[in-house]
Amino acid sequence: MTPLLFDYPISAAILFYAGEAGDMQDTMEAVDGISKALEDRGHMVRVQEVNKKNWRRAVRIPGEVVFNLVEDEEWQLYVRVGRRLEELDRAQVGHDMKCFKYATKKARIKRRMKQLGISTPDFRIFNRRTRVHDIRGVNYPLIVKPSGQHAGIGISQDSVVIDKQELEERVKYVFQKFPGEVIAEEYIDGREIHVTVMGNGRHVVALPYCELEFTGEFADNWNVYTYDAKWEKASWEYWGARVTAPANVSHRLSSKLEKLAIRAYKAFGCRDIARLDIRIDDRGRAYVVDLNMSPSLNRFDDQDATLKSVQALGWSYEEFIESLVAIAYKRVYGRLPDRIRERHFLLAAPGI
């Protein structure tokens, strides 16, 4: 697999939301990395922090391709920006807003996977009127997650429950902390493989697989990729959860993972890039436990699964980002540019 690179420079806009939490710090680092990578490749980049006051103006910032990284806590600003960009026919990297309904509600992903017959752990979904009582057909231990969160928010060692009492307590806790539904799914004890998929239409490929290995104190705890394991560098979980690529898998398992990941990618209408988190049990059965339609692109995070897969592919970060932009560009414009279009986008962005 070779990078898809530009012969002519283009312009790109990067819109982002700032915050102090670990996942938001990751976004801001990604902004720095993406902008520098594109500039190093000769492209023009405009970066804009977005808030409730300036978002209408921000969506008109010129750029042939736009990164929408406005990942606010409740996704409200992100949705406003994404919808407006679509109304303006802007070329956004990644999923469209129709597809995004799944990204904001993990319960929708679970229901849709079940409808489509895509392998995922058995689950139950609770709303605030649901009584946690009869869950026959689902086996303990279970892992309890807030449906409307991302980046591991709301997931800790306490998320895994072993009986009805713990389930009731954890569901109650999640309702107190987060809006929306709550998911309780079977905890799959086994390997965790992250599969990044890139492309559109007939040209969809899986990158080398990345394995998440649980080491150190995880030996006496649940092997769960918690919020702390993802973002909190002061925690034992962060240093115990290590990623490696390419994952050491058999040819048979590799084929199974590729088919499962690409099927789910296409079934949910993913575009350009997405990452699937897959658990493998002791019988070799694979289950999709998460579908991330906006995977981290942070070059400064040496434990990022997607970037580890890119490195295993032999690409530089600059080649990866330019290829991702080229994939989005071709999807929207039909081909890579044969001329500089910057003047056109300046004229189409009144009031800047």
Give residue-wise pLDDT tens across range 203-218: 999 999 999 999 999 9
> What are the boundaries of each domain within the chain?
11-94+315-347, 122-186, 189-313
Give CA–CA dist 165/179, Å, rounded. Answer: 22
- Tokens read off for 216: 């150190």
Give CA–CA dist 166/174, Å, rounded. Answer: 12
Q: Which residues does 351 contact at the CB level (< 8 Å), separation at least 6?
A: 57, 60
Higher-pLDDT residue of 318, 180: 318
Q: pTM to 2 decimals?
A: 0.90
Q: Which residues does 302 contact at the CB level (< 8 Å), separation at least 6?
A: none
What is the predicted pLDDT for the residue at 342?
52
245 pLDDT higher than 90:
yes
Please state the rounded mean pLDDT for residues 158-165: 94
Give CA–CA dist 184/154, Å, rounded. Answer: 13
Please state the rounded mean pLDDT for residues 161-170: 93
In the CATH hierarchy, which fold is given to the domain comprising 122-186? Dna Ligase; domain 1 (3.30.1490)
Span 59-71, pLDDT tens digits: 999 999 999 998 8
Give CA–CA dist 113/71, Å, rounded. Answer: 25
Give CA–CA dist 43/45, Å, rounded. Answer: 6
How is residue 104 annotated by DSSP? S
Please state the rounded mean pLDDT for residues 95-105: 75
pLDDT band for position 350 (cuts 50, 70, 90): very low
CATH architecture of 11-94+315-347: 3-Layer(aba) Sandwich (3.40)
Q: Are 318 and 307 in contact (CB under 8 A)?
A: no
Domains 122-186 and 189-313 share a fold: no
Please state the rounded mean pLDDT for residues 287-307: 90
What CATH superfamily classification does 189-313 receive?
ATP-grasp fold, B domain (3.30.470.20)
What is the predicted pLDDT for the residue at 179?
85
User: Which position has the token pair 């925690």?
Assistant: 235
pLDDT band for position 265 (cuts 50, 70, 90): very high
pLDDT band for position 22 (cuts 50, 70, 90): low
Please state the rounded mean pLDDT for residues 103-114: 85
Residue 192 has φ and ψ, to the nearest 5°, of -120, 120
